[in-house]
Structure 1
Amino acid sequence: MSNWRSCIVLTLCYLTTICYAQRECGYIPYLKLLSKDNPQVYEEIRDTETKLKKYVFKRQENAIPRKVRVIPVVVHIIWKDKRDNISDRQVHSQIQVLNEDYRKKRGTKGYTRHPLATDTMIEFRLAKVDAHWRKTTGITRTRTKVSVFQLEQMKFSELGGKDAWDTTRFLNIWVCRVRGGLLGYAQFPNGSRSLGQEKTNTTDGVVIGTRFFGRGGSAKKPFDLGRTATHEVGHWLGLRHIWGDGGCDKDDGVSDTPLAGRPNRGHPRQRPHSCGSEDMFENYMDYCDDNVQNVFTYEQAQRMNATLTLYRLGLCEWDAFGSGVDNGEVSGDDFFSDDANKNKDDDGGDFFDDH
C-alpha cells in the first residue's frame, strides 16, 4: 500500500464534515487539530469562500442556470451483515428524496410554502453507464469483512471498502456501517488543492450510515426520511451549517439564512431566536429531525450552483446516462414517478440490534 493511502484516514479529516447520530458535526474540531501541522487549511477555505462569493456577486440571478443540472450518482453499498445489503428500492427512494428536496416541486414531499424556499435547479440520477461506457444500474455491492468502518476506510477496496468511480464524472455515495453512530459526512469542494488531485479523485464524495439512507424501509427514525443525504450533499456542494459553525458573530456565507448562535435539534415547538432574529430551523443545513427540514434558500441555491461551476463542472458535462444529451438539458420529470414512491424495503422488520 502506498504511503499516502496508508495514512489517508488520519490526513483527510480536515476536508470532511462529520455528522453523528444527533447531527453533531466535527468539521471544526478536526480543522483545528490538523491546522497545527497544516496552517494553510484556513487560507484555502477562505479562498474557496471568496471565490464562491465573487462568482455569485458577479452572476447575481444568473448564478442559478435556467436549465436543470443533472448529477450522475453511483451508490456503493458495503455490507458484512446481509441486513446491511439494502435493497435497490431503498436506494431509489433516496434518489427520489434528493430530487424532491433540491427541486421543491409541487405535489412532492420536498414542496413547501416557506417564503424563502427555492428550487435549486439541481437533480440527481443513478448512472446508466460507467466511465468505460459499460451498462450499470448505478449501484455497486461489496461484501466485506469489516463490521464497522473508520473514517475514509470505506473508500478503498484494499481496506475492505470500495474504490471510487471517477469523481470528476460521478457523485460517489458510500453506504455502510460507520464508527461511532455517524450519520454521514461529505468532502468539501476544495480538496484537490490541499490533498493533490490523485488523492482527491479517490476520496471525493459522500458517506451515509446504512440506517440513515433512504426513506422508510430500513432507515431508522428520526432520520428515516432521507434528509441526512440531503444535508451531506449540501456540504459536498459547498454549503456550510446555517449557524456558520460558531456563535452569532459567525455566518454561513449566505445572507438569506438568518444568523444563528447554535444548531437546532429535534422538533422545536417554538421558533428559536438565538441571535435576535428567528432561526431558520427548517433549513436542510440545520440539525433538526428529518420531518422538520424542508428549505434551501435562493442564496444557498446560488452557492451550490457556483460550486458546480467552479469545482465540479465535469459532473454536469459527462453523459453518464447514455442519452447523448448534455446533463444540463435532461428533463427530470421521471424522477417523480409513482414507482419511486414505494419506500418500504423488501426485507422489512427491525434492521439493527441495539449493541
Structure 2
Amino acid sequence: MKKLILFLAFMALVVVACNNDSNETIPNQEIAEVDMSDFYLYTDKEDNGTAGKSTQSGEKCHSMHVLNRQLKENPGLYQKMYNVEKHTRQFIAAKKPTGTPGGGGGTDPGTDPGTDPTYTEAITIPVIVNILEDPAHPVTQAHIDSQIEILNEDYNNANPNTSGAPAEFSSLVADVNITFTLASVNRKASTKTTWGTNDAMKYASQGGIDATSPSTYLNLWVCEIGGGILGYAQFPGGTNATDGVVIGSDFLGENTAGGVYGDGRTATHEVGHWLNLRHIWGDGRCRQDDFVTDTPSSDGANYGCPTYPTINCKSADMTMNYMDYVYDDCMYMFTAGQNDRMRALFIPGGAKESFVN
C-alpha cells in the first residue's frame, strides 16, 4: 500500500511539473486558447497565386519554394513550424485581448506581455556575411555597409518614403525596433556561377561556407543564385545548418547592378521571412491569409510601382509593404501586426529567444 501511495504522489508531482513547464512559453499569464485551423505551410507554386496580376518581373523571392522542398525532405519540420506558429498566436492573443489571428481570447490586461522588456526594448541582431565571390558580380565593403544601414532604416521606421503612406495605412506603420550590426565578413573564391536554391552555398563540403552559430547570429549568404531570383530565406523552425538568408550578389545593399532592385530591400524582405512573416498576399487567393490581422487580403503579388489604390479582394492592397514584390523604392513599411509576429520569436519559448539571452 505504501508503494502505491508513493507512486501516486510521484505521479502527481510529475503532472504539476509538466503543467508548470507548459506555461513557461509566455510568462506571467495563462496560455491563451488559439484556433489553428487556418494554418498552412505547403503552397502551390505552379501558378504562385497570381492569377489576374502581372508577372512582369517574375517570382523574385523563392522562400516558399524552398519551404516546400524542406517540408518534403524533413518530415518533422511541419510540426516544428506548427509549434512556432501556435506560440506566436498565443503571445498575440494574450497581448491583445480584443482579437487576434487564430481567434484566440485574451487574458487580464494586467498580464499583457507587451509590457515585458523583451517585447518593448530594442533587439540587436549581429550579422555574419558569407560571400561566395564571383568576379562578374563583385560584392564590396560599401555594398555590405549600406545593406546593414538599410536594414536598420527599415526595421526602425526610418525609411523616408513612409511619410507618403496612404491615410488608411499610415496609423499601422510599425517601428520594429530591431538593430542589425555587422559581426564579420567571410569571403571565399568560387568558380561556381549559379548556386540555385538547394542550400549548397551553406555547406563548405559543397563549395559554400558553413553557418556561424545560427542561434546567435543571422547568417547572410551572398552569391549568384541564378534564374532571376533575388533571394530566399529559411523560416523559423528549420535546420540550424541552413538557417539564414541568401541574397543575389547584385542585390545586396545600394548596388547599381541591381537596377530597380538595387536599393537593399531584398534583404529587408527576406529577413522578414526569417522573422516569421509570410508574403502579404498569403501565397494564395483572397481567402488564404498571411496570419496578420491588419494587412488587407489580396489574391497575389504586386509588381513595379503600383498606384494607390490598387484594389483586389474588395480592398486596397498594401503594395508598399516590405513583404510584397514591388520595386525597392516603392516598399517602405511593416505593420503593427507584423511587428507582433516578429517580436513573438524573442520572448521566452520563442524560436529566436537565444538572440536576447
The answer for the alignment partner of 2:87 in structure 1 is 51
CA contact 1:102–1:110 (8 Å) conserved in 2: no
Calculate percent identity across the aligned residue pairs.
Answer: 38
Q: Deviations over 1:235-281 (max 9, x none)?
A: 00000011111111111111010111111111113422111111100
Task: Name the larger-Rg structure.
Answer: 2
CA contact 2:61–2:230 (8 Å) conserved in 1: no
Q: How does 1:264-343 map to 2 (within 5 A)?
A: 264-309=302-347, 310-317=350-357
The answer for the alignment partner of 2:243 in structure 1 is 204
The answer for the alignment partner of 2:132 in structure 1 is 78
Change in 2 beyond 3 A, CA 1:159/1:33:
closer
CA contact 2:233–2:271 (8 Å) conserved in 1: yes
Length, aligned pairs only: 281
CA contact 2:60–2:230 (8 Å) conserved in 1: no
Of residues 248, 259, 271, the one that matches 2:297 is 259
Does residue 177 in structure 1 map to residue 224 in structure 2?
A: yes
SS of equivalent residue, structure 2 residue 84? helix
Change in 2 beyond 3 A, CA 1:14/1:168:
farther
One-letter amino acid matched to 2:354:
G
Q: TM-score, normalised by structure 1?
A: 0.72
Change in 2 beyond 3 A, CA 1:314/1:103:
same
Q: Deviations over 1:194-241 (max 9, x none)?
A: xxxxxx2221000000011101x3441110110000000000000001
> Which structure 2 residue ranges, 5 or more long, are not aligned?
1-40, 49-54, 97-113
Q: How does 1:245-256 map to 2 (within 5 A)?
A: 245-256=283-294
1:305: how far off? 0.9
CA contact 1:78–1:176 (8 Å) conserved in 2: yes
Change in 2 beyond 3 A, CA 1:278/1:238:
same
Change in 2 beyond 3 A, CA 1:111/1:278:
closer
Of residues 84, 99, 113, the one that matches 2:152 is 99
1:123: how far off? 1.1
Q: How does 1:110-259 map to 2 (within 5 A)?
A: 111-112=162-163, 114=165, 115=170, 116-127=172-183, 138-151=184-197, 152-191=199-238, 200-215=239-254, 217-259=255-297
One-letter amino acid matched to 1:175:
V
The answer for the alignment partner of 2:122 in structure 1 is 68
Q: Output the CA distance in 1 between the equivalents of 2:68 and 2:195.
A: 23
CA contact 2:61–2:231 (8 Å) conserved in 1: no
One-letter amino acid matched to 1:234:
G
Change in 2 beyond 3 A, CA 1:245/1:14:
closer
Q: Deviations over 1:94-145 (max 9, x none)?
A: 000000001013xx54643531211001110111xxxxxxxxxx11111112
Q: Output the CA distance in 1 between the equivalents of 2:203 and 2:338.
A: 32
CA contact 2:126–2:216 (8 Å) conserved in 1: yes
Higher RCO, 1 vs 2 (CA within 8 Å, ≥6 residues apart) = 1
One-letter amino acid matched to 1:146:
K
SS of equivalent residue, structure 2 residue 219? strand
Change in 2 beyond 3 A, CA 1:246/1:305:
same
1:84: how far off? 2.9
Q: Output the CA distance in 2 between the equivalents of 1:37 and 1:23.
A: 23
CA contact 1:104–1:112 (8 Å) conserved in 2: no
One-letter amino acid matched to 1:58:
A
Runs of 4+ that moved beyond 4 A: 24-44
